Structure 1
Amino acid sequence: MSDGEHQKITYLGKIDYRDKQVTFGIKENDRTKHTYIIGKSGMGKSTLLENLIIQDITGGEGVCVIDPHGALAETILHYIPESRIKDVVYFAPFDGDFPMGLNMLEKVSAEKRYLLANGMMSAFKKIFTDGDGKGTFSARMEYVLNNIILALLENEGQTLLGVNRMLFDKEYRKFIVSNVTDPTVKDFWVNEYANYTDKTAQELAPSIQNKIGQFVSNPLIRNIIGQKKTSFDIRKIMDEKKIFIANLSKGKVGEGNANLLGSLLITKIYLAAMSRADVDVYEAKNLPPCYFYVDEFQNFANESFASILSEARKYKLALTVAHQYIEQMTDEVRSAVFGNVGTMITFRIGATDAEIFEKEFAPKFVLDDFVNLSAYQIYLRLMIDGQGSQPFSARTLPSTERPVHSYEQAVIAYSRLEHAKQKFLVEDEIMEFYKPVPKVEKIKTEIPSPDVKFLKVNEYKNEQPSYPSKRNDSFKRFDAKKNNEERRYQTSPITRYDSPERKDEKQNIAHSSVDTAQAVVANSEPTTVVHKENNIEKNNRREEQKYIPEIEKKEIKIESVFDTVKQPVYKKEYVDKTVEQKPTPVFDDKPAMSLKEALEKALKDQKPITENVYQKKEVTDQEDINNGEVKDRKIKEDMQVSLPKKKEVPEDVLRKLIEE
C-alpha cells in the first residue's frame, strides 16, 4: 500500500459516476496546499465550511476558525463532542464580563520583532485606509508608528495601549526609549523624533492618536488588547490538536474592531506556525497539521496574508479561505491566492469573476457555466497526490445533522473559566499601566564599552607572583596556580614533609647546607627553620589550635653531634602534653640516617641528644623581608628564638626509643 492510501480523507461532496452518486474528498497532505472557496451569498459556502470543520473536530484534529459574522462559530459549538469540551478556546470579544487577553507585544524574540511589526503595520494600514475609502495613512505616520511598536517590543509588559502614550507622555517615552537596544530604533527617538518641529509633531501625533484611539476607547477592545498576557497559546493549540474559535461578530463589536482583531489573530497564528521552524527535521515530520479556516477573509487579507499562503504550508498550517468576489482582494493578495492555492472551488459567481475563472478552468467550463450554477453546485479543480486535477463539477454535502445533546454552554463556561479574566481584574490592571513610570534623567546613546575592571582582573590573574615589601600588602597578590597546587597536599605539617609524593618539596624545605644547620645551633638564629613555614602552614596551625586546646608548641632538633651525618633540619610540630612524642627528622638529601640509626649512633658515641627549650629573641622586619616572605606579626613572635639550654636525655630513654 502506498502512503496515500493510509491518509485521512476529508469529504467535500458527491459526483455522478456511472449513474451513481459517489462521495469524494481530499487527502490530508493535499490539504496543506490550501483551499480557496468563492461564491455569492446564499450559495452554500458556509455549509461547506461547516461540514469541513465538523469533520476535523470529530476526527480529533487541531482547528482554528475566524468568523467575522458569528453564525458559523455559533453553529460549530453545537457539534463539539463531550470528549473535546476542554480542548476549546472560544474567543468572543463581545463577552465584556469575561474578556480574554490578546497582547501582540508579549515575549517576542529579537529575531521575530520585525516580522511581527510588519504584520501589525499591514493590519493597521489596511484598516486605516479601508472602510469609506477616505482614510489616509501617510508614509510618515507609518514610519513613526512602526518605530513605536519596535520600541515597545523591547520593553517587557507593554501592550498596544502604549502606542498613544508614547506620543503624549514624555516621561513614559523616555522610560521606553532608555531600554531600547536596537541602534536604529534608538537613533530615531533620540536624534530624529526629538528634533521634529512642533508643527510636524502636531500633525503626526494627533493623526495616529485618532486612529488608534478609536480602538482603545472602546472598553470591549481595550480590555482585550490592554492585558499584559495573552489568554491562550496558539502554538500549543496547534501542537496539541486543540480547537480555537474566534467569534468576531461585526454586529456586536463593530466592523472596524472585528477587522482589527481578526488581522491581529491571523498574524498571531502565522507567527505561531513559523515558530515550528525551531524543531529538527524528524520532529517536523511528526508535527500534527492545523486546519485554519477564515470566512470572509478579504477583511483580513493584508500584505502579510500573502506570506502566510506562500510559507505556512512548510509548517503544516493548512488554510481554507472563503469570500464572495475577487475585487475584495488587493492585487498582491490575489496573485498570492492564484499562485499558491492547490484546490479551487467556485459556487455561482458574477460575470466579472467568471471571466477570470474561465481562464483558470478552460476549456472545461466557460463564462456562462459559472454564472448559472445552482445553490450547492460547484466547479472545482482538486489537488490529488500533489497534482491538480482536471476541472469537474460536483454537489456539496448537505448540512450535518445536529446532535441530540449540545454542549455549547459547557464549552463557553469552561473556556471562560480556563482562559478569561473577570472584568474588574482587567480594569485594575489597565489602571496600573497608566501610573507614572520611573523618571529617566538622560538617555544613553553610546554602546556600552567592555568592562575595563573585569579585563584588569583577568590580566592580573595571569601575572607572576611578586612579594611586596610592606606587611599590609602581603595578601594582595599571589600565584593562584601555585596556591592551588599546595592545597592539594594540605595535611599535618609532619606528614606533608615526610610524604614520598612530595620529595621535591621536601628537598626544597631541607635545602639548607650542613654549615647553615650548624650555624643555627651555634648562633641561635635558625633562619632556615623560621622561614620554611609558609602562609598555608600558618593557617593550618591556627585552625588546629582552635580545635585541639590540649596541645602546645615545641621545637625539637638533634644536636650537631653527628659528625658523619648530614645535619638534619626539623619541622615544627605540635606535641601533646600527655603523650611522649618522638621527633621525626627530615633529612635534606641522601644518604640520610633514619631516626633509629641516629639514636643508636648517639648511644654508641655516648653523646647525649638534647631537647631545646627556646627563649625569645627579637627579629627585625628587615631580616624578615630579606628572607623573601612577609610573616604575620603574631606568628613572627611565636617563632622568635634564642640560644638553647641543654638538658641531657637519660640513657634508658635512648634505649627505649631505639627499641620502639
Structure 2
Amino acid sequence: MGKSKFLESLVMQDIMQGRAVGLIDIHGDLFHHVRQYIAALTLKHPELAKRVVIVDPTCPEHTVSINPLEAIAGQSQERTALFLTDIVIKVWQIEPNTSPRLVWLLTNSFLALANLGLTLADFPRWLQDKVWRNSLVPRITHEAVARYWANEFPRSDKEIQQWIAPAANKLGGILFDADVQHVLTGSSHISMRDVLDQGLILLVHIPKGILGERSAFLLGAFIVAQIQKAALSRANTPDRRQFYFYLDEFHNFTTDYIQDVLAESRKYGLSLVLAHQFLDQLDTKLRSAVINTVGTLVSFRIGYKDARAIVYEMFPTPDFPRYQGDIDTGSW
C-alpha cells in the first residue's frame, strides 16, 4: 500500500460514516476511485448524491465557479486580499523582500477588485485599461486602497507598464486559460461555509497533466484558501461540525497561512490529512509546523535522509516498542 491508496481508504471510511469530507487531487486516480466508490454507495443510499459537490475544470458538467475575492461572513476584505497575494507569491516563487512593489501592487489590486464587487476575470483589464480603472477608483470605499490608486500608482503610460508587466504576465496569462476562467472568474456557485456546516462531500479534480502545473497549483491554492477562510469564520460558532480535508501533494498549494490553521485547526472544526513524498518538498517553517502539530504520523518506505529526520518522532525513546501495522484496504 502507498500513500494514495491509504488516503483512498481513509476518505471512503469517512464517507461511509457520514462525515463531511473534502479532497483535492492533482493527479486523478484518487479522485476517480472515490467517485466510483460514491456511485456504488449511492445505489443503496440515493440521498448521498445530494451531499456531493464536484469541482472539475476539465469537465463542463462539473465546472463550478468559485470567486476567491468574495469575503466569507466574518472575514474582512483585507484578509481575503492577503490570502490571494500569498498564493500568487507561493505559486510563482516571488521573493517579497526583493519584489515589494509587485507584492504591494497585487495586494491593492485584489483589494480594489473585492471592494468594487468585481472578480479575478477583471484583473488583467484593471491593470491595463487606464481609462476604465480611473473611472472606478472614485467608487472605492476603502480609504487606503483608494489613496494608493489615486496617489501612489504612477500616471505616465511608460511607468505604468513597468509596474504592471510582472503582475500581468504572471497571473494574467493563467486567467486567460478557458478551464481556469470557468472556475475562478464568476460569482461563487457554492459556499465553502455551507460545505463545512452542512456536512457535504467536496471532490476537487485539478490534474496538472492537463491544466499545467501552475494552473493546477493556483486553482488548488485558491480552493484551500476558501476552505481555510470558511473554517476561520466559524471561530465563534458553537457545536461546529467536523470537516475532514484531504490534501494529496499538499505542499504544492499551501501557503504560510496553513501554519496558523495547523496550530489551531481544532478550534475551527477542521481536520487536515496532509500527504507528500519527502521532507525536502516542505520549506523549513512548514516542515516544523507539520511535524510539531500533527496528531498522527504515517510513513511508507522513506529514504535514509528522511528516516533520520523523523526517527525521534516515531520512536521518541530508545526502548519504545516497535509495532508493525497490517491494513487490509478492502475492509478499512
- Do they superpose with TM above 0.5? yes
The aligned residue for residue 174 of structure 1 is: 134
Deviation at 1:60, TM superposition (A): 0.5
SS of alignment partner, residue 321 of structure 1: strand
Normalised by the length of structure 2, the TM-score is 0.90
C-alpha distance in 2 between matches for 1:354 and 1:334: 14
The aligned residue for residue 632 of structure 1 is: none
The aligned residue for residue 233 of structure 1 is: 191
1:119 equivalent in alignment to 2:83: yes
Cα deviation per residue 1:140-196 (whole Å; 9 max; x = unaligned)?
Answer: 11110110001111112x11122211111123212432221222111111111045x
The aligned residue for residue 303 of structure 2 is: 350
SS of alignment partner, residue 328 of structure 2: coil
Note the 1:359-508 alignment, pairs <5 A: 359-362=312-315, 392-400=322-330
Cα deviation per residue 1:201-237 (whole Å; 9 max; x = unaligned)?
Answer: 222212111111221121111122121x212121111
1:203 equivalent in alignment to 2:162: yes
SS of alignment partner, residue 46 of structure 1: helix
Deviation at 1:96, TM superposition (A): 3.6
Residue 339 of structure 1 is aligned with which of 278, 292, 297? 292
The aligned residue for residue 112 of structure 2 is: 151
C-alpha distance in 2 between matches for 1:107 and 1:301: 19
SS of alignment partner, residue 343 of structure 1: coil
Contact in 2 for aligned 1:48/1:397 (Cα 8 Å): no
SS of alignment partner, residue 181 of structure 1: coil
SS of alignment partner, residue 37 of structure 2: coil
C-alpha distance in 1 between matches for 2:71 and 2:100: 28
CA distance 1:393–1:401, change in 2 (3 Å): closer
Deviation at 1:97, TM superposition (A): 5.8
The aligned residue for residue 176 of structure 2 is: 217
Normalised by the length of structure 1, the TM-score is 0.47
The aligned residue for residue 584 of structure 1 is: none
SS of alignment partner, residue 49 of structure 2: helix
The aligned residue for residue 91 of structure 1 is: 55
The aligned residue for residue 187 of structure 1 is: 147
C-alpha distance in 2 between matches for 1:365 and 1:44: 27
Contact in 2 for aligned 1:301/1:333 (Cα 8 Å): no
CA distance 1:137–1:179, change in 2 (3 Å): farther
The aligned residue for residue 410 of structure 1 is: none
C-alpha distance in 1 between matches for 2:326 and 2:213: 30
Note the 1:259-658 alignment, pairs <5 A: 259-279=217-237, 284=238, 286-362=239-315, 392-400=322-330
C-alpha distance in 2 between matches for 1:363 and 1:278: 37
SS of alignment partner, residue 333 of structure 1: helix
The aligned residue for residue 65 of structure 2 is: 101
Greater RCO structure (CA 8 Å; 6+ sep) = 2
| 2:80 counterpart letter in structure 1 | L
Deviation at 1:396, TM superposition (A): 4.6
| 1:167 counterpart letter in structure 2 | L
C-alpha distance in 2 between matches for 1:278 and 1:165: 38
C-alpha distance in 2 between matches for 1:56 and 1:138: 43
SS of alignment partner, residue 276 of structure 1: coil
C-alpha distance in 2 between matches for 1:274 and 1:111: 8
Cα deviation per residue 1:491-539 (whole Å; 9 max; x = unaligned)?
Answer: xxxxxxxxxxxxxxxxxxxxxxxxxxxxxxxxxxxxxxxxxxxxxxxxx
- What percentage of residue pairs aligned between the two structures are identical? 33
CA distance 1:98–1:247, change in 2 (3 Å): closer
C-alpha distance in 2 between matches for 1:160 and 1:179: 18
Contact in 2 for aligned 1:310/1:340 (Cα 8 Å): yes
C-alpha distance in 1 between matches for 2:170 and 2:201: 33
Q: How many residues align?
A: 325
CA distance 1:396–1:319, change in 2 (3 Å): farther
Deviation at 1:277, TM superposition (A): 2.2
C-alpha distance in 2 between matches for 1:204 and 1:194: 8
| 1:140 counterpart letter in structure 2 | R
Task: Kindly report the root-mean-square deviation, in angstroms, between the aligned alpha carbons of the 2 structures.
Answer: 2.4
C-alpha distance in 2 between matches for 1:265 and 1:102: 8
Contact in 2 for aligned 1:66/1:247 (Cα 8 Å): yes
The aligned residue for residue 46 of structure 1 is: 4
SS of alignment partner, residue 74 of structure 1: helix
CA distance 1:153–1:396, change in 2 (3 Å): farther
Contact in 2 for aligned 1:358/1:365 (Cα 8 Å): no
Cα deviation per residue 1:390-428 (whole Å; 9 max; x = unaligned)?
Answer: 6743325232379xxxxxxxxxxxxxxxxxxxxxxxxxx
CA distance 1:109–1:85, change in 2 (3 Å): closer
SS of alignment partner, residue 345 of structure 1: coil
SS of alignment partner, residue 106 of structure 1: coil
C-alpha distance in 2 between matches for 1:256 and 1:365: 44
Contact in 2 for aligned 1:108/1:153 (Cα 8 Å): no
Deviation at 1:334, TM superposition (A): 1.2
Cα deviation per residue 1:547-606 (whole Å; 9 max; x = unaligned)?
Answer: xxxxxxxxxxxxxxxxxxxxxxxxxxxxxxxxxxxxxxxxxxxxxxxxxxxxxxxxxxxx
C-alpha distance in 1 between matches for 2:214 and 2:152: 32
SS of alignment partner, residue 54 of structure 2: strand
Note the 1:57-68 alignment, pairs <5 A: 57-68=15-26
Contact in 1 for aligned 2:74/2:233 (Cα 8 Å): no
CA distance 1:73–1:171, change in 2 (3 Å): same
Cα deviation per residue 1:242-270 (whole Å; 9 max; x = unaligned)?
Answer: 10000111122211111000000000000
C-alpha distance in 2 between matches for 1:392 and 1:204: 59
